[in-house]
Every structure is written in C-alpha cells, then in structure tokens.
Structure 1
C-alpha cells in the first residue's frame, strides 16, 4: 500500500521553469552554437537584475550553476574515439595529457558520480553517468560570461564531447518547493 500527496504547485513550478528557459541552447545540438546561445540566452535567464533570483523573479538560485560534460574516450593505440566508452582521465588546460608530476586543472579533472553526488540520466542518444568534467559558473553573470569565454578559448568542448549538462537548483518560497534543473545537449558520433 502506498500513499502520496501531490500538489499542483509541483507541476506548475516545473512548467514555469521549462517555459522560462525554452529556446535556449537545447535547440542548438552542436558545440559551435553552445557558447553563443548560452551567453546570449541562458545566462541572462539564470542571472536576473535581482541578485540571487533567476529571471522569473520568483525562484531563488541556490549555489552556483554548473556545466558538466561527458566525453568519448580516445584510444591512442588505434587513434580512434570510442563513442560508448567514457573518458575518465585527468588533463591540463586544452586536453593536454598530464606529465608524471603534473596536477590536473579543476576544469579538466574527471569527477565520479559519487564525488558529484550525481545520478545517471537517460537522453535521446544514450545513457549518461552522473560523473564528468565540471565547471562552476559562479553567482553573477560577469563571472559566468568570463568563464564561458575562457572555456571556449581553451576548447573545453570539442569533437570528443558526448553530452553537455547545465545543472542548477532553485527554491520558490511562494510554493515552498525546491527544483533541481538539468538541461542536456547531446552530440552524436557523426557530429
């Protein structure tokens, strides 16, 4: 026997957030458009003129939004990428392999699902783990914009990118609900 108490506010909050962010980078589907559509569409909606709130003015942004990517593994023995195998190595900026005594830059360090307290997600093209390479966007739009520019300059997203997630949490005090938001952009093996 089970008992559940659902409020219509849960659906309404989910719908309102979906509507607020419709037309963002999700329609893009390719790496080239990700940076410009994220800068021009997503960031202004995440960071409103009222510090701490997203653009709808009702939801308070909790913590820092983050971008997480999963990458195809590169097998150097045969020089080909393996679409179904996930990259879990650590790198220096620009996906340069680490030397013997090097430490990875945080944006190029692989974090496991457990370290991120993540969960797997089923997309249209496949099943994605809750781990990956993570970049925090910070609490204001200027920091987030400069972070995106830096990532683009250093080619953080490239042909080995398999999936990109934008993740953030909001709280709506009007209905006393939290909402964990995850947007997914997938890339296929053929581009």
Structure 2
C-alpha cells in the first residue's frame, strides 16, 4: 500500500521535471552562444567595411557647402537660409565657388583641362549638378469668407494632390516646365513632407560664368515663388586618392 500510494502521488514526475529544466537551460545557453558568435561576426563585417576616409570626405564636403558663409555676410550660409534673397546669395556665392575650382591656393591654374571641375583640387565633379524644385498651386488652403476680399493667394503644404504641374514664368526652357517623374524613382522624405521625384529642373553648365549667368537670370525672373515648397541640389564627386564616390543632395 505505501508503494502504491507513492506511485499514485506521482513520485516519478520530479526527476522528469528536473531533467526537462536541464535540457531547456542547456538549449538556451547554446542558443545564446550562437547568438553572440553571430553578433561578433556581424560587428567584424560591419566595422571592417567602414573606411575612415568616408567620414573625412563627408565632413569636408559638408563644411564646404553647408557651413561656408556668403562673402561679406558672415551670418548667411546654407543652414541659415530663411528668405529667397538668402537662397540666391548662397547659390551665387558658396555653391558657385564650391563647385568650380580653377586655381591653386597660390592663384596658379589648377588644371589645364577644358570644362573640368576639381572640387578641393582632387575631387572630380561627375556629370552636371542638377537643381530641382517642387511647387504647390494657389488656393490649396482655405481662406475664411471674411478675408477673401483681402487675400487673393493661399498656398498650402506640399502633397501630391496640391502639387503644381503647370508651366510658369518664361515657359521657354525646362526649368519653367514641369517634368514628370520616373515611376521607378524613389520619393524623398524631408523634415516636413515626402516629395516625389518630378518637378521643375535645370542642370548647371560646366562653365562657371555660364552657371552664374543662369542663376542671375532665374533670380531676376522669379524662378522661386510663394508656391515653392522644396528645392533639391544634386551632384556627385569622385576622389581617386581614396577611391571613393560622394553623392551630395
């Protein structure tokens, strides 16, 4: 009877339960070990692919185009643009001077190459820089009836529904005509919205003087309007010394 009551109470369940816990602990430790090995390999591969020259090239280019002030106006650089006039001062100043280098620090000619741009002496400008803007239509925000006689224009935030697709200004060149985006082109997420890849586009010239003339022409003919919501400046560089490409937007 005592032996039967011992089996009835489940006396053999304790060793089995203890064995299961040991198996679970052993399995957990094995999985943790494999996970740590995976993390170590991942870190080795990730940090092994990082070239310190990437950081310095990016830092130098950011300093050149974002932190350089407009000559004669130390308070104005790319990061401090608040008005249309500030934007054009940046375009005709730091951007223009940063894109087209034609002499060494001792004023000797940089390279005897026609239509070639070497940013910071050794960074080759690939292709032509491109400037693109996106606009919204008038009357894309609501004006209360009491103020409609005083307010004739109201431009809302950028959305694909509010985007302006019509020609404007001189309506002669591509910068005044809307260019549709490629369906496979990615959209760009900014601080205040998501923007498609189409817009009003113009490419800069390989000549510094021609580019400056283009900037002045666009400024005088009001290429930027109240409906402008975002402007992109895109170009690419290659540095043969460190064998790195740099895409700037």
TM over 0.5: yes
Alignment of structure 1 residues 53-68 onto 2, 5 Å: 53-68=117-132
- The runs of 5 or more residues in structure 1 that have no matched partner are 97-103, 183-191
2:11 matched to 1:11? no
**Which structure would you say has the larger Rg?**
2
Which TM-score applies when normalising by structure 1?
Answer: 0.77
- The runs of 5 or more residues in structure 2 that have no matched partner are 1-37, 69-76, 103-109, 143-152
**What's the offset of the Cα at 1:33?**
1.6
Name the residue aligned to 2:166.
90
Partner Cα distance (1:125, 1:25) in 2: 18
Structure having the higher strand fraction is: 1
**What's the offset of the Cα at 1:106?**
1.0
2:247 to 161, 175, 180: 180
**What's the offset of the Cα at 1:68?**
0.9
Alignment of structure 1 residues 1-191 onto 2, 5 Å: 3-4=45-46, 5-21=49-65, 22-23=67-68, 24-49=77-102, 50=110, 52-75=116-139, 80-85=154-159, 86-94=162-170, 105-114=173-182, 118-182=185-249
Which TM-score applies when normalising by structure 2?
Answer: 0.61
Q: Give the total of aligned pairs.
A: 173
Partner Cα distance (2:242, 2:226) in 1: 42
Contact 1:113 1:119 in 2 (8 A): no
**What's the offset of the Cα at 1:105?**
3.2
Contact 2:205 2:211 in 1 (8 A): yes
Structure having the higher helix fraction is: 2
Report 1 or 2 for greater relative contact order, CA contacts < 8 Å, sequence distance ≥ 6.
1
